């Protein structure tokens, strides 16, 4: 969990009087939350901000994702990580952490991605490397990028070419969506639902 400070702890860390920190809070000069008991808690990022600390962009985290365990077993996930690691080393960057997922890029409930989002606030790195945008997320990449930017973390996409596996994954996602919607409309076990899925599958493949 990201660290936070009480008023007194924050004052000690900065070497200022407690009343100064309280005044900053009253004037909205500090971002803080309150505990159920009403105590102010100030996130560590505020300490870094006031201390003039910036994220070290030569210290990076890696994020890699494949859509299926079959791809993982075939070494696709390891190859992504190897490519990202080589890229970091070629630029003289230190790899501080690695996050991975096996699952669809449209799935928001991914353990690796959620860990990355949880850690990003207080991370000791200033850059996240991914091979392609859709490895991080199928939709909403720009929103995630803006979220990282808020904490001084840059998202770097290392490949310029189109991800050849992305088209296959997109087709699979489309078929799953069609199956879900047609199942809700016609029934998951209905022949009509299967007919719709088969038609779409034939068209896109």
Q: Which residues are catalytic?
A: 67
One DSSP character per residue, 36-79 reads TTS-EEEEHHHHHHHTT----TTEEEEEEEESSHHHHHTTHHHH
186: its two tokens: 């016609």
134: its two tokens: 């859709």
76: its two tokens: 């696709």
Dist CA 186 CA 194 (whole Å): 9
Dist CA 97 CA 27 (whole Å): 37
Q: Is 4 helix (H, G, I), strand (E, B) or coil?
A: strand
Q: Which helix (H) or strand (E) holds 80?
A: helix 76-90
CA nearest neighbour of 119 among 151, 72, 164, 78:
151
Q: Is 154 helix (H, G, I), strand (E, B) or coil?
A: strand
């Amino acid at each position: 969990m990201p660290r936070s400070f009480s008023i007194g702890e924050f004052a000690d860390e900065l070497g200022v009087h407690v009343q100064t920190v309280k005044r900053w809070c009253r004037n909205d000069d500090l971002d803080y939350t309150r505990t159920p008991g009403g105590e102010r808690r100030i996130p560590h990022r505020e300490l870094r901000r006031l201390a003039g600390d910036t994220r070290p962009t030569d210290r990076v985290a890696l994020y890699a994702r494949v859509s299926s365990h079959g791809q993982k077993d075939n070494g696709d996930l390891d190859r992504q990580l190897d490519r990202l690691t080589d890229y970091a080393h070629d630029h003289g960057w230190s790899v501080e952490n690695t996050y991975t997922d096996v699952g669809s890029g449209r799935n928001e409930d991914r353990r690796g991605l959620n860990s990355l989002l949880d850690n990003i606030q207080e991370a000791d790195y200033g850059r996240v490397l991914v091979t392609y945008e859709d490895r991080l997320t199928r939709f909403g990449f720009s929103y995630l990028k803006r979220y990282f930017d808020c904490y001084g973390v840059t998202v770097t996409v290392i490949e310029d070419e189109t991800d050849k596996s992305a088209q296959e994954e997109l087709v699979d996602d489309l078929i799953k969506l069609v199956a879900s919607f047609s199942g809700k409309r016609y029934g998951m076990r209905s022949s009509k639902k299967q007919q719709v899925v088969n038609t779409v599958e034939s068209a896109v493949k």
